[in-house]
Structure 1
């Protein structure tokens, strides 16, 4: 389990969440687009000009072995979060961002340490249950109650977390689409 990656996942999610309260919503969108552009440039340099990049000790531990020669999960996280921003308003953005920030790494940790029943590409039933319960808690705390529509959101995002490889992209994208069109 790569705690360095999980710490970055949590830290970045909380940073964006906090910034959504501090800066204007328009500025937050510009910041997200800028980060996608900067990260895209970094990904191209990393994939094609690896030998020329400095500070490898800082950023190479962030990559899984299987993503070292592909676009990283971090890029998908940024793109998914940026899509979410442009799909929904501030409150829904914060809600799905919290689910991505908290429920996803908790699911990973629970699945890694106590997961027994494999579902898809190393993901476990126990991790999926942890994702569902954490998402339920987040929606309850954030909204004050869990309506049928939000229960549907939580269920859909749990299936996405369990059945996709790039859940850092699909959770915010599908969550944003669901909230935009079905809630």
Structure 2
């Protein structure tokens, strides 16, 4: 599966999850997220014991990178779940949208980038992440909040030594929430 298709799936998932959080509500989203996370954990255990599950194996080979047994989806859902636990639905939805769209664009632009910044990250990819996150946040919360939250999320995506799928939604939500108070 090409990286392009995987990232289109990632962005589409972010859009869908943001829609679910905002329009169907955090409680509904949390129930779905917990169910899917448990399902993915069961699959991980079965796969670790070398069970063959044709439908799941086909999905993982199509959307995974081999080493991932649904890790990206599980971490994405976990990050979104944390954001919905602590922040109002509009903030959580925007933060999930930032992760889905901006992370996908950062990868798609970054793989063609020529100016390395840190590890596999490029100036072009980080710029794509910042611009897209700024545009998303600015649309809902204005320029000042978009600059700070967009830059903070970009720095986490660039330098974070952990899975940004878990960290970006709660962090972006926290920054938006704090800046709304100011």
TM-score, normalised to structure 1's length? 0.85
Q: Structure 1 residues 51, 28: CA separation in 2 closer, same or farther (over 3 Å shift)?
A: closer
8 Å CA contact retained: 2:92, 2:170:
no
Cα distance per residue 1:5-28 (max 9 Å; x no partner): 212212221221222344233222
Count of residues in correspondence between the two structures: 177
Q: What corresponds to 2:169 in structure 1?
A: 172
> What's the offset of the Cα at 1:78?
1.4
Cα distance per residue 1:36-64 (max 9 Å; x no partner): 22222222223x13442222223223222
RMSD: 2.1
Stretches of structure 2 lacking an aligned partner (at least 5 in a row)? none
Q: How many Å separate the matches in 2 of 1:72 and 1:120?
A: 23
* Counterpart mapping for 1:87-166 below 5 A: 87-113=86-112, 115-143=113-141, 145-147=142-144, 149-164=145-160, 165-166=162-163
Q: How many Å separate the matches in 2 of 1:125 and 1:30?
A: 38
Stretches of structure 1 lacking an aligned partner (at least 5 in a row)? none
SS at structure 2 position matched to 1:3: helix
8 Å CA contact retained: 1:80, 1:170:
yes
> What's the offset of the Cα at 1:132?
0.6
8 Å CA contact retained: 1:102, 1:134:
yes
SS at structure 1 position matched to 2:20: helix
Q: How many Å separate the matches in 2 of 1:54 and 1:77?
A: 24
> What's the offset of the Cα at 1:181?
4.6
8 Å CA contact retained: 1:87, 1:180:
no
Q: How many Å separate the matches in 2 of 1:49 and 1:5?
A: 26
> What's the offset of the Cα at 1:154?
1.1
